Structure 1
Amino acid sequence: MKRYDKLIFVSNSDTCRGPMAEAVLKKKFLLDELVIESKGLVVLFPEPVNQKAEAVLAAKGINVKGHMSGQLEQGDFGERILVLVMEESEKIKIYEEYDRAVNVYLLTEYIKERGDIPNPLGKGLADYGECYELLDDLITKLVVVLNEEELLC
């Protein structure tokens, strides 16, 4: 029996790091089917992926056209849902503001590493590229952890 049915990447606005992480993980090989989404903590209205993030992903052959930001909601939590955030402050905010919050981890924490994933918002294209490379590396390690968990369940 698999541990999680759904994984949600959470970032501040769901227009950069979250959608990038979602898109990267969807390109990786998982042993079992997993619904993969991204959501934001502050989404006033649906927005597309940041243009620089989209350009970096497109250069890697990943299409995120059609993704619109979505607000994290109380219903996004459950025993079979894994929520991975980009920054420690986001994890704290979730536990403060969402009564049903469970299984919320910093992405790096979940793979037994440390540190926040820097937000490239407002910076140059090279910074978005660095964010992609970091996410790709971390998500490759995440795939190993998730696949090992599936084998142990």
Structure 2
Amino acid sequence: MHRTISPIDETPPRDVDGPELPASPGRGQSADSAFAIRRILVVCVGNICRSPMAEYVLRRRLQGHGVTVESAGIAATEGARIDPFALGVLAARGIDADRHVARRLDQSMLDAADLVLVMERPHLEFIRTRFPSATGKTFLLGRWIGEFEMPDPLGRPRETFEHLYRAVERAAHRWCELI
């Protein structure tokens, strides 16, 4: 059993069946706990739009809490630069992601992560199929905002990236309440 928070209102958490979320200092554990969330991996396809945006938003929100946030893509071209629209949307909010370079997801990244956040259900399925050992710690980024899937903005206008940023920000806020 794990605790959930309603994505719509601020009602108290309730117990539901499903995978147990790892404990973290924010959930009643000490920072030394073996189950504390100390490393988060954010995953999308190319690691140039969605996952870097979420990585940098989570980094900002968790700054000073001893949590490392990284990102990767299931089909990333190693070393690719962040999408210019994603970079611009982050920069407009004072977040410098200019040094981001894409990384392709591998087992060692998943092994090192305490929590893996993905953008869409097919990403969950990919990890369950290819990396089954990470299944229990892998969730949708939008889990706490109505199981929302973050749509891929690649090739779309900047406005789409702005909408994505707002969704990422809402989802990150909810996750940070739990960790």
Q: TM-score range by the shorter chain?
A: 0.7 to 0.9
User: Does 1 or 2 have the higher relative contact order (CA < 8 Å, sep 6+)?
Assistant: 1
User: Mapping of 1:62-141 within 5 angstroms?
Assistant: 62-78=95-111, 81-102=114-135, 103-109=137-143, 111=144, 113-141=146-174
Compared CA separation, residues 56 and 116, structure 1 to 2 (3 A): same
2:116 and 2:99 map into 1 onto residues whose CA distance is 22
Other structure's SS at 1:75 match: helix
Matched length: 145
1:112 and 1:24 map into 2 onto residues whose CA distance is 16
| Uncovered stretches (5+) of structure 1, i.e. residues with no partner | 147-153
How far off its partner does 1:79 sit?
8.1
Q: Which residue of 2 aligns with 1:41?
A: 74
The TM-score, its normalising length taken from structure 2, stands at 0.75
How far off its partner does 1:104 sit?
0.8
More deviation, 129-138/72-81: 72-81
1:52 and 1:145 map into 2 onto residues whose CA distance is 30
2:80 and 2:113 map into 1 onto residues whose CA distance is 28
| Uncovered stretches (5+) of structure 2, i.e. residues with no partner | 1-32
Q: Please point out which of 47, 57, 78 is paired with 1:24.
A: 57
**1:11-32 superposed Cα distances (whole Å, 9 cap, x missing partner):** 0110000000011111114673
Other structure's SS at 2:133 match: coil
2:157 and 2:124 map into 1 onto residues whose CA distance is 27
Structure with bigger gyration radius = 2
Higher helix share: 1
Contact 1:3 1:80 in 2 (8 A): no
Q: Which residue of 1 aligns with 2:85?
A: 52
Identical residues among aligned pairs (%): 26
Compared CA separation, residues 6 and 29, structure 1 to 2 (3 A): closer
